[in-house]
């Protein structure tokens, strides 16, 4: 249990106080924290995903894999076959689902709760992390999961206050490349680009407080958050991230041409207005 898993445990405890929660973490310090703050009824420390083969999954109603896609893919061949529903919280989907396609007897339905924090570890747990957020559900056509399993999963996330939307794994990875993955890379590039200008770097050091205003701060908030997770996202959704960034690169090239040519007659006020409308539609901004 990292930040996401610990937040989930807190949310479950708050919503269904009688639930028995067993947690797996990678470090003794996380385990100590979880015990101290009673985020779970039991804690085990494992660094090897193969440890899953010795778990009695059948005794649980639901198993949530709160580990990166690459770790899930490593784990899937070792999952014992039971009737227990398994879900996950991965930010990329196709590779995870391809791994479960090889084990159709497992009851698996994918979840991508769209919430998070730039902070890591169980210390960053927030019980209300899931409330009023979107959870994308991704069914595996080849999985043994039943409609009863799907109802259970819908009740689980809804019970924590999440709104649900179902997508295919392919559609998920394309849409999320635009709305999450590529923007993270752009945010990270933004800080490296600004810092690479010598005048920006010197003035920023000399100024009593940062020269970057609220706009730059907002845009760079997610820069470099959780390097391990984002490395994984990049490795597991490379094609769509690449395609979306190439599209952004080409649209930026056209924008530069319009700025370069003062005679272009481009209506910048309309352009800014259109971008605001698009922002409001995509983000439901109020």
Site for its own copies in 195-224 (CB under 8 A): 195-197, 199-200, 203-204, 206-224
**Strand, helix or coil at 62?**
strand
Contact between 165 and its own copies per CB under 8 A: yes
Contact between 164 and its own copies per CB under 8 A: yes
User: Pick from 42, 98, 148, 255: which binds its own copies (CB under 8 A)?
Assistant: 255
Q: Which of residues 107-126 bind its own copies (CB under 8 A)?
A: 114-116
Q: Which of residues 22-81 bind its own copies (CB under 8 A)?
A: none
- Of 105 and 255, nearer to its own copies (C-beta) is 255
Q: Quick one: which of 170, 58, 60, 176 has its CA closest to 113?
A: 176
Query: Judged by CB under 8 A, how many residues of this single chain contact its own copies?
Result: 97
CB-count exposure of residue 166 (10 Å: 0-12, 13-18, 19+): middle
Shortest spacing between CB 222 and its own copies, in angstroms:
4
Q: Quick one: which of 48, 222, 40 has its CA closest to 125?
A: 40
How many whole angstroms separate alpha carbon 87 and alpha carbon 48?
Answer: 19
Asked whether 111 and 154 are in contact (CB, 8 A), the reply is no
Asked whether 113 and 162 are in contact (CB, 8 A), the reply is yes
User: Pick from 36, 262, 265, 286: which binds its own copies (CB under 8 A)?
Assistant: 262
Shortest spacing between CB 126 and its own copies, in angstroms:
12
Stretch touching its own copies by CB under 8 A, among 25-33, 72-80, 140-148, 184-192? 184-192
User: Pick from 28, 48, 56, 278: which binds its own copies (CB under 8 A)?
Assistant: 278
- Of 17 and 205, nearer to its own copies (C-beta) is 205
Shortest spacing between CB 135 and its own copies, in angstroms:
10
b (16+ CB within 10 A) / e for 2-32: bbbbbbbbbbbbeeeeeeebbbbbeeeebbe
CB-count exposure of residue 272 (10 Å: 0-12, 13-18, 19+): exposed
């Amino acid at each position: 249990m990292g930040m996401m898993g610990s937040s989930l445990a807190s949310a479950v405890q708050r919503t269904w106080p009688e639930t028995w929660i067993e947690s797996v973490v990678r470090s003794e310090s996380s385990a100590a924290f979880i015990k101290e703050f009673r985020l779970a009824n039991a804690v085990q420390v494992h660094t090897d995903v193969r440890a899953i083969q010795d778990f009695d999954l059948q005794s649980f109603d639901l198993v949530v894999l709160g580990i990166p896609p690459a770790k899930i893919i490593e784990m899937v061949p070792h999952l014992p076959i039971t009737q227990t529903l398994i879900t996950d919280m991965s930010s990329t989907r196709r590779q995870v689902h391809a791994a479960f396609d090889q084990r159709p007897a497992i009851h698996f339905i994918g979840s991508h709760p769209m919430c998070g924090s730039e902070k890591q570890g169980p210390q960053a747990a927030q019980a209300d992390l899931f409330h009023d957020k979107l959870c994308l559900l991704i069914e595996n056509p080849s999985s043994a999961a039943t409609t009863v399993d799907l109802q259970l999963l819908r009740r689980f996330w809804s019970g924590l206050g999440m709104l649900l939307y179902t997508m295919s794994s392919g559609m998920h990875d394309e849409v999320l490349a635009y709305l999450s993955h590529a923007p993270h890379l752009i945010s990270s590039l933004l800080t490296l680009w600004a810092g690479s200008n010598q005048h920006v770097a010197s003035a920023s050091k000399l100024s009593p407080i940062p020269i970057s205003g609220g706009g730059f701060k907002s845009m760079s908030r997610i820069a470099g958050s959780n390097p391990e997770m984002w490395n994984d996202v990049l490795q597991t959704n490379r094609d769509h991230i690449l395609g979306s960034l190439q599209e952004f690169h080409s649209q930026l090239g056209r924008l530069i041409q319009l700025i370069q040519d003062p005679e272009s007659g481009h209506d910048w006020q309309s352009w800014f207005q259109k971008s605001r409308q698009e922002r409001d539609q995509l983000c439901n901004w109020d």
